[in-house]
């Protein structure tokens, strides 16, 4: 299964924020500005509240160029002894074709989405179950992390989770009104066969052909970044945001640095994952929204960290590109 990934040799950014050296994830400077957020194409699901399209002003901030990796999360666990929600509960959700566990460890299937399986012993160290590991996946995104786990990591690192508005603004990479971080077309290249995102190929949920080279997660820098130097803002893993979810949030949203409601029952997730497919979960788009309870964990759920702006802390990726054009 040949993997065709667009090569990238971009400008370096500098680790910053929180405890020096604690979090190796690079931060890119995201310039402040205005953008029209929401679904420009009518692609979204009504219940997700992707509309109306609305203009917001976002202040400059910093965002991880990648999601937090297994290696970075291991450093956090080694330093703090943190025990994740999945470890405490003893199980987590794994996609049915990926399960690596004894039959006795398969606890049941979700009635509404039977391709999700509760697996005893599935956690960040064992993404598909007790018979799997991350020894060869240090540079893959950490998964099976709840919103609570993501917050604990961010606080340890002196960082935070991005707001939903920051996430979408950054995911667009400076492109106005596009479907994906790179434009409107899913595939790239002269022949239209170059994958730009890690999603499900084949017949969902039965057969994944892995045409892009991956059946589960891919390394966090496997695909070229967007205009702000951010890798895989769509596909690979869902990413927790700081906001509580409200499907009507856009109707009366603040125009400057908007945030979600003050309370709620589910937190915003963005970006889709390696399991998204246009026949079921067409949410590998920059406008797509979803949500889950903050204690939810699954084999396709991770996060990236944000931080407030610091003028001398990082390279502004967009500016650096202009200087080297």
Q: How far is Cα 35 from Cα 103, in angstroms, rounded to an integer?
A: 50
What is residue 294's predicted lDDT score, i.e. its pLDDT?
Answer: 98
Report domain 53-68+140-323's class: alpha beta
What is residue 323's predicted lDDT score, i.e. its pLDDT?
Answer: 32
* 3 state DSSP class of 147: helix
Burial tier of 142 (Cβ tally within 10 Å: 0-12, 13-18, 19+): buried
Q: Which residues of 252-273 are buried (b: 16+ CB within 10 A; e: fewer)?
A: ebeeeebbbeeebeebbbbbbb
Q: How far is Cα 170 from Cα 162, in angstroms, rounded to an integer?
A: 10
Token code pair at residue 115: 């391709």
Helix (H) or strand (E) holding 244: strand 238-244
Q: Give every CB contact of residue 94 below 8 A, 6+ residues apart in sequence.
A: 101, 116, 117, 119, 122, 127, 128, 129, 298, 299
Q: Are 123 and 144 in contact (CB under 8 A)?
A: yes
Q: Are 145 and 7 in contact (CB under 8 A)?
A: no
3-state SS, 13-63, equals: CCCCCCCCCCCCCCEEEECCEEEEECCCCCCCCHHHCCCCCEEEEECCEEE
- Measured CA to CA in angstroms, residue 210 lies from 99, 202, 214, 216 at distances of 16, 8, 5, 9
Nearest CA to 311 among 61, 26, 63, 66?
61
Nearest CA to 4 among 180, 136, 197?
197
How many Cα atoms are found within 13 Å in the side-chain-facing hemisphere of 143?
31
* Domain boundaries of the chain, sorted by first residue: 53-68+140-323
Q: Is the pTM of this model over 0.85?
A: yes
Please write the tens of the pLDDT for every residue from 61-82. 999 999 999 999 999 999 999 9
Helix (H) or strand (E) holding 88: helix 85-89
Burial tier of 300 (Cβ tally within 10 Å: 0-12, 13-18, 19+): buried
Weakly modelled stretches of the chain, pLDDT under 70: 1-21, 189-192, 311-325
């Amino acid at each position: 299964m040949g993997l065709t990934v667009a090569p990238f040799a971009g400008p370096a950014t500098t680790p910053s924020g929180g405890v020096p050296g604690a979090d190796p994830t690079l931060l890119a400077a995201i310039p402040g500005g205005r953008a029209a957020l929401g679904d420009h194409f009518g692609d979204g699901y009504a219940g997700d509240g992707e509309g109306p399209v609305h203009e917001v002003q976002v202040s400059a901030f910093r965002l991880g160029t990648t999601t937090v990796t297994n290696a970075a999360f291991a450093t956090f666990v080694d330093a703090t002894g943190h025990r994740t929600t999945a470890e405490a509960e003893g199980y987590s959700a794994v996609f049915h074709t990926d399960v690596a566990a004894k039959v006795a460890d398969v606890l049941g299937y979700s009635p509404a989405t039977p391709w999700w399986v509760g697996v005893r012993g599935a956690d960040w160290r064992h993404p598909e179950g007790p018979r799997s590991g991350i020894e060869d996946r240090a540079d893959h995104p950490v998964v099976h992390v709840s919103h609570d786990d993501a917050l604990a990591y961010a606080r340890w690192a002196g960082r935070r989770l991005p707001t939903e508005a920051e996430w979408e603004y950054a995911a667009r990479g400076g492109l106005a009104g596009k479907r994906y971080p790179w434009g409107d077309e899913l595939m790239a290249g002269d022949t239209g066969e170059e994958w730009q995102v890690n999603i499900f190929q084949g017949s969902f949920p039965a057969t994944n052909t892995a045409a892009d080279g991956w059946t589960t997660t891919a390394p966090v820098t496997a695909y070229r970044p967007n205009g702000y130097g951010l890798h895989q803002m769509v596909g690979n893993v869902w990413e927790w945001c700081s906001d509580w979810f409200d499907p009507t949030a856009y109707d009366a949203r603040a125009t400057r640095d908007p945030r979600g409601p003050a309370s709620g029952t589910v937190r915003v997730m963005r970006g889709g994952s390696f399991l998204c497919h246009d026949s079921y979960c067409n949410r590998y788009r920059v406008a797509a929204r979803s949500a889950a309870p903050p204690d939810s964990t699954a084999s396709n759920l991770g996060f990236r960290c944000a931080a407030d702006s610091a003028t001398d802390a990082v390279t502004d990726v967009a500016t650096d590109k202009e200087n080297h054009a």
